[in-house]
Amino acid sequence: MSATADVLVVGSGAAGLTAALNLAEDRKVAVIAKGALGEGATGWAQGGIAAVLEEGDSFEAHINDTMIAGAGLNDREVVEHVVESAPRAIARLVELGVPFATEGDALHLTREGGHSFRRIVHVADATGAAVQQALEAAALKHPNITLIPDMVAVDLITGRHASNFSTSGAVHGLYAYNRRRKRVEALTARATVLATGGAGRTYLFSTAPRGATGDGIAMAWRAGCRISNMEFMQFHPTCLYNLQVKNFLITEAVRGEGGHLKIPGTGERFMPRFDERAELAPRDIVARAIDHEIKRLGLDYVHLDISHREPDFVRSHFPNIYEKLLGLGIDITREPIPVVPAQHYTCGGVMVDLHGCTDAPGLYAAGEVTQSGLHGANRLASNSLLECLVFGEAAARHINANWDDLAEVPDVRPWDESRVTDSDEEVVITQTWGEIRRFMWNYVGIVRTTKRLERAKHRIDLLRQEVADYYRHFRVTPDLIELRNLVEVADLIIRSALSRHESRGLHYTLDFPETDAKAKDTVLVP
């Protein structure tokens, strides 16, 4: 059959568009997005991108900071490669027109938790949005890139879907639900790049976009790829506490620029009691400290206060946060911000090598969907966009270098809907989704116990069975596709957490509070 494109990229954020732009000189590239092109997590990133650019800073310091944050579970070779690639990645974004903040003739650098130097390049407090806009504009202009919104990925196409059945394990594209045509279509290609983001919406409170349902992780798992370190879910310490506004992140940089965490009512700074780095400690430490104080005192939230800084400084550094909160009646130049922790980043995912290769021939992955070895047991602030840029480029480079070795696209069977009907029970999807997110928050959250994890496992086993039965009988819808992936990913998180009998980084369990001498990845094999 004729392929949809030479290369199919699944996801239109920083990782996907970087891969597409690096491929497009030689290949025809199709980029699909689940919804609108800019709806992914990239556009939500506030803080910035970490890179060694300041005099006195060094690659070694950035590597060490990353390794320390990752609790020794990082792959040092990967960390070195990404850190050393960072200045070049920033230079390419500057060429694309990203308007990074400057100070004189140099880029303005800020500092965030876990970093030993000022090394965060940023566009005020909306770096991700600026990067997304620049990459999108470049992709739209390129004649070899086709951007296709409103395509919800269902499953990867392997030899098992070919007219001539094969167990080769090679990936030849995917089936996707076309929202506009309301049908599932086969999209085929010599190489497929997963850039689908994380699985934040597995949790009740999350800063992730609505579409972060672990689609790429679930699809890769079903296609036979190993999944690693799913127990390491990063909880951002400071998400706005507001019952009307959900998922609004208060960037790490507010603490980097002097913001203090305080107890409401008393105004006591509590972080110095937990870590000598106080508010600049890594996220897992800060999130656990906030969680501890909220539970100890029966609070709904704690305060993040930057009102002691000059008003002009606050307004110029955090214009979006200032305007957003002013609209909610909070003037951050004069009063503190109510904050709670929320799920923020998925550190585990599809196992890839330095080139973004997965276990399946023809399948690559980049960004939050992966476990590349960069983050280990906890992601250092502002290393996420960097990972997208470096691995998006790496995947493209490997595809181009090994093009002749990639399998030709076989004839693929069309999607079969002959044995299903339209559902008349959509409430099942809503109910199950809510149930998963609640028990994942309560049982598989910031602080864990074996008993809580076992309770979660029992519930997810029942729900997986129910969802599988529902999927077999009814036509797919975007909500059903997401729920099927969500239940799969929740199971992977719980299984990973149960298998780790220690506390390390983001995985903190009261039953095994000590950290083992030797760091080992959790690897799940289909």
CB 144 within 8 A of CB 20: no
Q: Which H or E run contains 15?
A: helix 14-23
Q: What are phi and psi of 238, to 5 degrees?
A: -125, 90
Select from 375, 357, 379 the least CA-distant residue to 366.
Answer: 357
379 classed as catalytic? no
- The whole-number pLDDT of residue 515 equals 97
H or E element in which residue 141 lies: helix 127-141
Question: Would you kindly state where each structural domain of the chain is located, as residue ranges?
Answer: 7-40+126-231+347-405, 235-343, 427-513
Q: Which two tokens stand for residue 49?
A: 């991108």
Q: Give the total residue count for the chain.
A: 526
Continuous segment of H or E residues that includes residue 183: strand 183-188
CATH of domain 427-513: 1.20.58.100
For 243, phi and psi rounded to 5 degrees? -70, -20
Q: For residues 493 and 414, what is the distance between their CA atoms, to the nearest angstrom? A: 32
Tokens of 64: 């060490």
pTM of the model: 0.90
Q: What is the pLDDT of residue 2?
A: 62
Q: Which class would CATH give 7-40+126-231+347-405?
A: alpha beta
Tell me the H-state helices in 376-449: 384-401, 427-443
The predicted pLDDT at position 168 comes to: 85
**What is the arrangement of strands in the sheet containing 109-110, beginning at the earlier edge strand?**
49-50, 120-121, 109-110
Model pLDDT, residue 44:
74
Q: CA-to-CA distance for 489 and 179, rounded, in angstroms?
A: 23
Q: In CATH terms, is domain 235-343 a member of 3.90.700.10?
A: yes
CB–CB of 277/381 below 8 Å? Answer: no
Q: Quote the distance between the C-alpha of residue 46 and its chain's center.
A: 14
Q: What is the pLDDT along the chain (526 residues), one digit of tens a residue?
A: 467 899 999 999 999 999 999 999 999 999 999 998 888 888 877 779 999 999 999 999 999 999 999 999 999 999 999 999 999 999 999 999 999 999 888 999 988 878 999 999 999 878 989 999 999 999 999 999 999 999 999 999 998 888 888 888 999 999 999 999 999 999 999 999 999 999 999 998 888 888 999 999 999 999 999 999 999 999 989 999 987 877 788 988 899 899 999 999 999 999 999 999 999 987 778 988 998 898 889 999 999 999 999 999 999 999 999 999 999 999 999 999 999 999 999 999 999 999 999 999 999 999 999 999 999 999 998 999 999 999 999 999 999 999 999 999 999 999 988 778 887 777 888 899 999 999 998 899 999 999 999 999 999 999 999 999 999 988 999 999 999 999 999 999 999 999 999 999 999 999 999 999 999 999 999 9
Q: Containing H/E element for 92?
A: helix 76-95
Structure tokens at 351: 């196992």
The owner of tokens 């997965």 is 358
Comparing CA positions, the residue from 203, 72, 215, 216 lying closest to residue 494 is 203
Tell me, letter by letter, the H, E, C secondary structure of 272-325. Answer: HHCCCCHHHCCHHHHHHHHHHHHHHHCCCCEEEECCCCCHHHHHHHCHHHHHHH
Helix (H, G, I), strand (E, B) or coil at 102: strand
Backbone angles phi, psi at 92, to 5 degrees: -65, -35
- Which of 255, 283, 288, 484 is catalytic? The answer is 283
